[in-house]
Amino acid sequence: MIHDNVLGAIGHTPLVRLNRVVAGLACTVVAKLEAFNPGGSVKDRTAARIVAEAEKKGTLKPGGTIVESTSGNMGVGLALVAAVKGYRCIVCTTDKQSEDKINLVRAFGAEVRICPTAVEPDDPRSFYSVAKKIAAETPGAFYANQFHSLDNPAAHYATTGPEIWEGTDGKVDVVIGGLGTGGTLCGAGRFLKEKKPAVKIVGVDPFGSLFYDWFHHRTLVKAQGYKIEGIGEDILPGALDFSVLDDVVQVQDKESFLAARRLTREDGILGGTSAGAALVGVWKYCKNLPAGTLVVVIIAERGERALGKIYNDEWMRRNQFLAEAGDVTAADLIARKSRDLAHLVTLPPNARIGEAIRIMQESDVSQIPIISDGQVVGNLREDQIIDLLLHTPERQDAPVEEIMEDAVPEVAAEAPAGDVQEFFVNGHSAVLVRLSGGRRGILTKYDLIHGLAKR
């Protein structure tokens, strides 16, 4: 097929199965790779739809100016559409956006106004206020207003949702993605729920944004700063229909950035900061989903626009997201253990307590992670065994799930030793470490002492 122009190439992005980066999850996870849109992000769909509808309504006329407030990707999409259709484009963004993303908007011929991040939404300096002012004062201007335009979710109801449905032969069970304006998840989610009401739509929200607290508690908290780009907000967008969502998961900057790097290095998919956030959302939401569940995660943008940040070791270290050169990481601590941990000692939930006692004695371990279908579902410590032997020794034929405690936390191999120590300070007895090839290792306080002493 030969398209009349590049706008015809928007959509029909591929679904790709994730493998190494989701090792240990029982469910099947596939990524919807929106980087394959011509502007490199899911926002191309929204931009094309909003402009086309504005033309139909006569609110955008030939020779007019498109104005928008955006974290960057919508700016790229609108700049691309404006270049093809001959409009002037003015993009208002924040000073936390990557230089790569700002330069990309300019590459398409758009003008960029950079506004401070750390101001209230109604502050005249905010990127919302500046965009509205420019649109009001510029003859022939059209304010795209992606945060409140219903053409935003309509774009995904018409394209993203049907593509996911057709691409999975209607077998999709869960869709997970970042929440920004909400257009992608709410539009695609509404379509999919009409086809299959049991489909779960799960949003991912950075710590510091409003959406998690509003969804779970209907509490409008004061927004705080975070470095993830493209998702999270300090306002409630009119394009976001919370009734479509089944859950909202919170993620942190650091875990998201490390996850994006793992996605690139383990499955060859170069995503941006929101891609890492979405992947953390998958790890958190899907950890107990059974085999046979089909999960689609939206990878919203191309990662080249984050090369100067999350893929830059110096930037990561400067912002304390990556261990300094010479610092001890979780993987280093595993490697310094005196015994071979290539095969982590684990048990299923239905294993007998007596078997656990025997394994602890033979393997000289103080605790055993309990794993079901590749998921860590609990932890068995020597304290619980001692208590049982003292008070109810006749229960040795009972399954370990009757006395196990909650699963211990997991960290990435790159996590610094200080992060491991924080879990111990907060009362955890051990930490699991995600190693290459889907392997895991376990660290206790003794392992931390031993590993640090061997520096």
65-69: strand order across its sheet: 111-115, 88-94, 65-69, 141-143
Q: CB-based burial of residue 373 (10 Å sphere; 0-12 exposed, 13-18 middle, 19+ buried)?
A: middle
Give CA separation, 425 vs 190, 428, 430, in Å: 44, 7, 11
Q: Is the alpha carbon torsion for 24, 162, 306, 304 positive or negative?
A: positive
- The span from the CA of 217 to the CA of 240, in Å, is 16
**43 annotated active-site:** yes
Catalytic residue among 43, 193, 200, 227: 43
Give CA separation, 126 vs 131, 133, 226, in Å: 9, 11, 16
The catalytic residues are 43
